[in-house]
Structure 1
Amino acid sequence: MKSFISLCICLLTVLFMQAQIINPKETAKRKAEDRTNTRSDQGIDKGLDKVEEGIKGIFKKKDKKKKKTQETEAGEEANEENEDPSAENAKSSSPQSAPGFQSYSKFDFIPGEKILASDDFSKDAVGDFPLQWNTSSGGEVVQISGFAGNWFKFPQNGVCFPEYINELPENFTMEFDMTINQETMSNNQSGLKVFFNQLIQNRTSFDHMFDPKAKVAFDVHPSGVEGGGDLYVWVTDQSEQQLLETHQEIKGNWRSDQPNHISIWRQGTRIRFYLNEKKIFDLPRAFQTGIKYGFLFATNLWGDGLYISNIKIAASTPNNRGELIEKGRFSTTGILFDVNADRIKPSSFPVLKEIADVLRSNPSIQVRIVGHTDSDGDAAANQSLSERRAAAVKSSLSKEFGIDAARMQTAGKGEAEPVAPNDNTQGKAQNRRVEFIRL
């Protein structure tokens, strides 16, 4: 009899275990819903944590398949002057239209003019870690279906940074494009951390969780939910005291179907942070005086699939547009164009506005607008492109800002007058510029 009872118990146990693993996906879904609706039972939460960890392993093959649809390991390398047309078409077919000039009318970010670093990973092989970067963990260069060029995919945990720049000046701007894989990115733990930390030489040893040194840090954390997520900032001083910690939701500002542009602007102790055309933070007392700052990126992801590209760091000086009046000429890399085209990107609005303000305040001045390119592609095509871009700037200043077209002439120099070597991305970025010459 005891044997019979034991046998029944065993059978019931097996049936119960089978019922628990018949559909682990539905089990995870049900538990997730329970976790959202109630937090009263801590036992459920602990059980859910274990299920989430287990599900990640159970569906590992499926996740790989999902990511493969986003990351492509084939295709022609693209840069700002020569881009794969198929990627450009994929972007233009996006259901979410790109913002126009009007959207940037309150955007006041002014990029620095002296480029210190620029990287689009076009020189790195897909599947490899970037040659001129370093890491405490890993990462790789990938291509993303529908997005042009190469992208750097961060590891789930660790620090990453370019070795060719560390110390930053007191006045600088930093820009980069960012996107995520919505299917694999989690809203737990953190997103992309951008640290402006007290200068250290061995950045791979940086403890991005508990480092005690002075720092200004951002955590850009879009979630898998379209348009959702949070952006955090915290500031500490040399004595490990936390001076500030706050966050803002980024709902409605994050774009799921096109790259998101991050802009950061330091002026002395002040720092401003922009997501696309919206200013998220403006902190007047973030940086400590008398301290040298470097920078690095860090991740501590619960999920996976975080990417950046088109990084640009530049030194900035106050009122450098005044050079047009004082010195008779002014050159800017802050007027940006679509790839191989003369369409001005809306993010160029603040630079154009400043130039328009100078011309409006000095109505007797006439200028020649000169376009320049890097040396990529055909010389004749670059010459034509530079002329069309100069004409586009004139048209924008006239139509958008009311500057009399008769006061402006245009010309193009193509690749003929470089100001930096064309054998690296930093030099090429410096050569792609628009010059204003007082007549």
Structure 2
Amino acid sequence: MKGAQRLTKASLLAALGVSVALSGCSQEPASGGGDGNAGGGNGPKVKLVFWSHQAEAFNDNYKKLIDSYMKAHPNVEISYQSFPYDVYNQKLKASFSAQNPPDIAEVFGTWVPEYSKNGLLSEVPGGEEAGKAYYEAPLGGFKWNGKLYGLPLEFNIENGGMLAHPKMFSDKGLAYPPKTWTELVESAKALTVRDGSGMKVKGFDFISGDNITFTFLSMILQQNGKYWGSDGHVNFQTPEAVKAMTALKDLVVRDQVTDLTAFGGQLDSSDYFFKGGAAMTYRGPWTIAAGLDNYKAKDFEYVPVPSFTDNPPSFAAESGWGLVVSKKSKASKEAWDFIQFLSSKENLKAWNLGTFTVPAKKEVAEDPEFVSKNPFMRTSVGLLPHGQWIGLIWDRDYFFKQINDHFQLMVSGKVTVENGLKAIEKAVNENQDQHK
């Protein structure tokens, strides 16, 4: 999920399917968390500056936890500021460049390596032990040379689950949900509807700016393959990569269960699903709340996507939003104490529920209460152990664009799968080298 694609508070509460009284936003933060002594009542006044991007649910939940922490630590004052997403990343870079960064910063995982490799971030106290509490995928971006420089708040999962219309299956007498990749493809072909103007209902839509890439990488992993070579280079010349990309092309060209007509448009593929334009749409769980709130959708479920093989449904994921502490901070002890307070099980569970985000911390995801309060998350939570960090990609937008652009060329027949993969590999690796 891109960082800018966040949901309104109303969407979040609708997605939870519970009243405000039961949502994470209404729960009292737990009083534990950090060492319990940093910034205690007898020491000198300590002021922390905390920055984040603007997103209503995120901001509301941060403010509640800040108030709770300051109440328990009366000589710590946390000045919290949020900024529009479109300017936040550049503002953060400028503050570090001017050597006047905030003490605590909310960062997206893909941003972190640039800061950590340049020595701008404080290490997580007891980092190795702290890291064991989190899933591998969300933690990856916060590591550098084996050291941990931040703690993730969410598991930024874009795949593994799909939106599906069960009634479309029952109307056709099809087994639901599909249990194997073959069943998925055969069901998708049966569910695809065409009229004189083209494809009216897509059987299985995976065409979006993120999911072409994520599906491709996951299909490599599900064959027990790898897509990283040596020296920070990708390797897309493997049999697994060719088979994965060929299968994706076949879904469009041979099986004709989706097309590229809406790719790059203003609406997301999930919007077309909620309008009845697809039977199955491969998309992250963040789309659920938009469907419930914007479309008042009721006739859909969020179910697992079968593995491409008989192996477990492994998938690649980026590190999502998390918190870091500036190396320049004069109150790093207090800053980390607040982050540890926020990251305690009960506080982080309330934060994940209140923001409709997937837990990055194992004990939160494994808590039955989390899924019972948010049943739409059941599919995603069950997949988390199969996630792998996507790897160190220096220019995320460029990486995804190369795969998306060449996929369109392969589908159109302008290049073969093999030549398209060679072109992607060459372009990505040249870009990776520019950042060394």
TM category (shorter chain) comes to under 0.3
Q: TM-score, normalised by structure 1?
A: 0.23
* Structure with more relative contact order (C-alpha pairs < 8 Å, separation 6 or more): 2
Structure with the largest fraction of helix: 2
Whose Rg is larger? 1
Q: TM-score, normalised by structure 2?
A: 0.23
